[in-house]
Amino acid sequence: MTLSRVLLPSFLVLITFMLGASSALTQVATEDEIKALNTKDLQIKSAEVEYSEDLDLLVFEMETKGQAGNTVPNARGELNGAPVLGYVFPTSLTSEDVGFGKIDGVVALAVTAHPDFDDTPLWDENNDGNYQNDGVTWHTHWVILGPDKRVKGGLAVIEFKREDKSVVLPPTNPGMNMYMDSPGYSVVPKGKSLKVLVPAQRVDNKKEFNYDAVSAYMEVNTTDKNRPLLGVYEVYDVLSGNLSLPYKVK
């Protein structure tokens, strides 16, 4: 039995509990609500991925115009419609490099905060002994992104049918039916800098790849079949200006 099969029942219980708070369709946040989150903390000044040979470690870093990680969304009280803020590194890595099966899409390292739910059941990011209350603490995901015209940002995490037995996920995935993993990498927000520490072994020892840097507003949807489960509703900033992934590992 894989670890993901063990974690899935507890995650489904969490979803059922949170959805029970309201049976009505939660609308997308208003434009004013989304714009209010676009502070200098989400404006990207620079980004860098550096490989440390001594530690065999990749350090992903974004520098912001404000205080990195200081802005977080307010809770909405349920999973459906839950806001998600993200600092995202789209990369040229393949899905297989980070533990998924072979699938077309953009492999991205996303650093996210969302107070309404916890999707890292293996990790206790705030070290309080409760593994189910850390969603608002900045944490990491690998996601596979694809184009999606149903949302303003034009991107969403690619989904799959639960009954599809051909889907290959890392055993640390949180049990949702989309290509997302919760790898538990250390996130270090300090001043204007946000760093993520990724052992090279966790990306199939790939030390040469391209990347970009993005900040964005995302939202969870569990009731509206015309919208994705986790879509990008607003892109706040793109370092390259055009998502061309022009930057290389140093």
What is the amino acid identity at position 2? T
Among the residue ranges 27-31, 83-87, 183-187, the one predicted with the least confidence is: 27-31
Percent of residues, the chain, with pLDDT higher than 90: 82
Tell me the per-residue pLDDT of 217-240, one tens digit each, with 9 for 90 and over: 999 999 999 999 999 999 999 999
Total of domains in the chain: 1
Q: How far apart are CA 155 and CA 144, in angstroms?
A: 10
The first and second tokens of residue 140, run together, are: 């990491």
Which residue from 91, 144, 141, 132 is spatially nearest to 112, judged by alpha carbons?
141
The first and second tokens of residue 112, run together, are: 């996210």
Domain enclosing residue 125, as ranges: 3-248
**What's 133's DSSP letter?**
S
**What's 26's DSSP letter?**
P
pTM of the predicted structure, to 2 decimals: 0.88
On the question of pLDDT at 48 being above 90, the answer is yes
Tell me the per-residue pLDDT of 13-37, one tens digit each, with 9 for 90 and over: 333 333 333 333 445 799 999 999 9
